[in-house]
Amino acid sequence: MRNRDLLWLGCGILLMLCSACSTPNFHPVAQIPPGRGLIYIYTVSPAGNRGYIIHNSKKLGALGPYCYLIDFPQEGPNSYGVPSNFFTRGGLLGLMVKDQAAEPTIVNVVAGNTYYVKQYGSNPDAELWRVDESDALPELARCHQVKVTP
C-alpha cells in the first residue's frame, strides 16, 4: 500500500511539473480599443531583460526570457526604450569603454494598426527595434505574455 501511495505522489508531482512547462501561450489581441494602436514588445533571448521597458518615460513592464507584453498607445509618436544609467553601464570604467545607451524607438501610432517591437540583447546593451509582422509572428508563437506594470 505504501508503494502505491508513493507512486501516486510521484505521478502527481510529474504532472504538476509538466503542466508548469507547458507550451507558450501567445494569443493575438482580438479587438483594439477605439483611438488606440496595438504594440507587441517581445524578446526571444534566453537571457531576457534584467531591467524594464519604458514607454514615454514611464515604466511599462519587464520582459523575461521568451516573453511579450502588450500596449495600447494613443495615436501619434510613442517612445519605447530600455533605460540605462551610470551603474548599469559599468560605472566610470564602463563609460570609458562602452558606447552610450541606445536611443529609444519611436513608433508613430495610427489608431487600429498593429506594430511589433523586438528587444535585442539584455541590459545594459538592450535595444528595441521595429520588426515586420511576417518576422514577429513566428517568434511570438514561442513566447508567454507578461503583465504590464500599472
For the chain, which residues make up each domain, given as ranges?
36-145
Q: How many Cβ atoms are within 10 Å of 45's Cβ, its own excluded?
A: 18
The reported pLDDT for the residue numbered 131 is 94
pLDDT value, residue 20: 42
Cis peptide before 124 (omega within 30 of 0): yes
Neighbours of 96 (CB within 10 A): 8
Q: Say how far apart CA 73 and CA 117 lie, in whole Å.
A: 13
The single residue listed with the C-alpha cell 480599443 is 33
CA angle 110, 118, 92 (to 5 degrees): 115
**b (16+ CB within 10 A) / e for 124-148:** bebebeebeeeebeebbeebebbee
C-alpha cell at 66: 521568451
Q: What was the pLDDT predicted at 103?
A: 75
**pLDDT tens sequence for the chain (150 residues):** 576 666 666 655 555 444 444 456 888 898 999 999 999 999 887 766 666 888 998 988 888 888 899 999 999 999 998 876 555 555 555 555 555 556 788 899 999 999 999 988 766 667 888 999 999 999 999 998 888 876
- Measured between alpha carbons, how far is 138 from 135 in angstroms, rounded to an integer? 6
CB 67 within 8 A of CB 42: yes
Q: What is the dihedral of CA 50, 53, 59, 62, to 10 degrees?
A: -50
Burial grade of 39 (CB within 10 A; 0-12, 13-18, 19 or more): buried
